[in-house]
Chains A and B, each alone.
Chain A
């Protein structure tokens, strides 16, 4: 059974860079059938797609966050990572990593449990 697990600091200071890692287990991160994504949910609000990455390193980002986001992948470690720079309180959210199956469902079919990141001094 595929599992995704987010990890990283739960507290980040304003203007600094938020860094999270998602570790994939129980399946391959290098399959041509999948993209890997970061999605967040601010407190009391809905879900927001941040960006996605292919195992080859190809990325695409939400235009509203593009200037501050970098997503990378390390296939040897079966991990992909998120960096969000110049954070503010508005970036406080539960951050999820997810798999997008491009073949069977063409959507996000597996998600991590999520990790809360608070931006505060």
Chain B
């Protein structure tokens, strides 16, 4: 079981706004930055959000991240069919002294 907890699934219709949560603890999300990845099976995971809310060049502003306390969220607005993928949160853990990933959330565009 991942120390960073994500819902296993999420869904929305085209144009909708969906959010994916990531719950951690004081040793990871509570004190360190959160990153988000988009992963299509069979491809390389793609960095979507870094430092809680920063988008790498080329990532549409439909994707946004936030953090509060020991939880973080990824929001996708104007949902598109190509957003259907698995999404993972990640953070450094001071107790583990290593990187943690969430269990992943499979986003379905209905």
Check if B101 sits within 8 Å of A47, measured CB to CB.
yes
A60-B97, A96-B44 given; A47·B56 CB < 8 A? no
A33, B33: Cα distance in complex, Å: 18
Classify chain B: how many residues form its interface, as a range: 20 to 34
Check if A47 sits within 8 Å of B51, measured CB to CB.
no
Check if B101 sits within 8 Å of A49, measured CB to CB.
yes
Check if A60 sits within 8 Å of B90, measured CB to CB.
no
A107-B47, A109-B47, A112-B44 given; A49·B98 CB < 8 A? yes
A79, B74: Cα distance in complex, Å: 34
Q: Does B110 contact A (CB under 8 A)?
A: no
Check if A45 sits within 8 Å of B103, measured CB to CB.
yes
What residue of chain B has the Cβ atom nearest to residue A51's Cβ?
B98
Q: Does A120 contact B (CB under 8 A)?
A: no
Nearest CB of chain A from residue B52's CB, rounded to whole Å? 11
Q: Does A63 contact B (CB under 8 A)?
A: yes
User: Which label, helix, strand, loop or mixed, suits the secondary structure of the A interface?
Assistant: strand
Q: Does B85 contact A (CB under 8 A)?
A: no
Check if B44 sits within 8 Å of A114, measured CB to CB.
yes
A47-B88, A47-B104, A109-B56 given; A63·B47 CB < 8 A? no
**Set A46, A49, A111, A114: member contacting B104, Cβ < 8 A:** A46
A interface footprint on B73-85 (CB within 8 Å = 1, 0 otherwise): 0000000000000
A46-B2, A46-B103, A107-B35 given; A96·B45 CB < 8 A? yes
Given contacts A49-B100, A114-B42, 7 further A-B contacts (CB under 8 A): A47-B104, A49-B98, A49-B101, A63-B97, A107-B50, A109-B56, A111-B44
Q: Which B residues lie at the A interface, using CB under 8 A?
A: 2, 33, 35, 37, 42-47, 50-51, 54, 56, 88, 90, 96-104
Q: Which A residues lie at the B interface, using CB under 8 A?
A: 37, 39, 45-49, 52, 60-63, 96, 98, 105-114
The 8 sampled A-B contact pairs (Cβ below 8 Å) are A46-B2, A46-B88, A46-B104, A52-B99, A62-B98, A105-B54, A107-B35, A107-B50
